[in-house]
Every structure is written in structure tokens, then in C-alpha cells.
Amino acid sequence: MKRLLVLALLLTAAAGDIHSGYDDASPETRAMQDDDSANPGFLWVREGEAQWSGKACAACHGDARVSMRGVAARYPAYDAALNRPITLDQRIAQCRTERQHAEPFTPESDAALGLSAYIGLQSRGMPLQVSTDGPMRPFYETGRTLFNTRMGQLNLSCAQCHDERAGMKLAGAVIPQGHPNGYPEYRLEWQTMGSLTRRIRNCMVGVRAEPFPPDSAEMTALALFLAARAAGLKIETPAVRP
């Protein structure tokens, strides 16, 4: 009976009691995120704003505060020409190479994180609402499988930490539910901004698994599942996390 009760509590938490990593952060970290003048992520946002104005983004899309409103909340999104979903970072790279005829940003560079953060900021406060129907469904299911697959020398899955043990502590830190609603975000442990891809790869290294390549189908499918799993949570970009 006790095991059944524990299982029921775990299933209830996984099914509906979702919350942002913001709620697990310390009051000091939350205060840093809440104050745009103290949030270090805004250093990258300003970089992104300059990129938007100076590299022809505005020439096509106009005022980002209007044209990019809600965009980050819908990614990863399906690309009919590629017949697969792509992330917002991949869309930015696509625009640079195909429309601006420029070199793509180096992954995790200030320029890449800045433009992604600036676009993400325009959706701040809006709920995540990615599509998982139609042609997106197989990719969503792949992401779900990856999330629940044990991997690495430690033989752990994403779900074992971020579903079953969310709210518990590991090395004194609260284990979050692992939602992507704040990326790119400033992490105090990194002392810099980072993407969701970097966070996932860090986790994979932590369980002693071979990380998925940044632009791999597996990474995109997992990002899609994570966004769908966090449906309804508000965009916080640029978030601040421990």
C-alpha cells in the first residue's frame, strides 16, 4: 500500500504539478532575475539587440517587439522544407546563411546567445505552446523515449532525476523539474549565459554518457519533448539559475 501511495504521488506530480526552476531558486537568485538592471543576462540581450539592428534582421522583420512576440514560445517548430522540427537557434542560423548570406554564429558565442536571448525576451510572460501534432508527433515521441531512456555509466535517465526526484536535493541543491522556459539563461555555476543544448550536454556528461551533438536529431527531439512537457509555463528569458 505504501508503494502504491508513493507511486500515485509521483504520477500526480509528473502529470500536472509543474513549476518553473525559478520557484526552486533562492530568494537572492529570484531577485536577480526579477530586476532587469541586476539580471546579468541583459548584457547578452543588449548584444542581441545590436545584432538585430545591425545585421539585417530588422530589414525583414521590423520591430522585434512586434514581429517576434510569441515566437520563442512556439519553438521547436516544424520546418516543411526540411521535413523536421528545428529549434529557434537553428532558425537563426538558417536565416543568417540563407537570407543574410552570412556565416552562422559560433555555438554558445556571445553573439549567438545574445540574439537568441533578445528574441526570447519578446515572448517573456507568454506560455510555452509548441505543436506536437501531425508531422511533429514522431519527433515528440522520439524525445519522450530519449527522456525516459537510461544512459551512461551511471545508467540514469532524465526522468529519474527530473520527474521522480524533482524537489529533492543533490549535493545541497534542489533538483529542478528541468523545464526549458528560461533559456538562454544565466547560470551562476557557469558565470555566463548558456543554451538549453549546453545544459543537456552537461547533464549527459554528468551521467557519463556521450553527449548528443548540438545540432543532432536527438537533441532537437529532446528539446521538443521538454518544451511540450513544460506547456503552459511562462517564458522567463533571460532567466537566472543557480
Locate the domains of the chain by residue range. 2-241
Q: Which of 57, 95, 161, 203 is catalytic?
A: 203
The better pLDDT of the pair 8, 226 is held by: 226
pTM: 0.91
Q: Report whether 221 contacts 158 (CB < 8 A).
A: no
For domain 2-241, give its CATH number from 3.40.50.1820, 1.10.3720.10, 1.10.760.10, 1.20.1560.10: 1.10.760.10
- Per-residue pLDDT at 172: 83
Question: Dihedral, CA atoms, 120, 199, 160, 30, nearest 10 degrees?
Answer: -60
Q: Report whether 145 contacts 225 (CB < 8 A).
A: no
Is 57 annotated as catalytic? no
The better pLDDT of the pair 5, 40 is held by: 40
Question: Dihedral, CA atoms, 87, 202, 236, 82, nearest 10 degrees?
Answer: 0
Residue 1: pLDDT band by 50, 70, 90 thresholds? very low
CA 172 remoteness from chain centre: 24
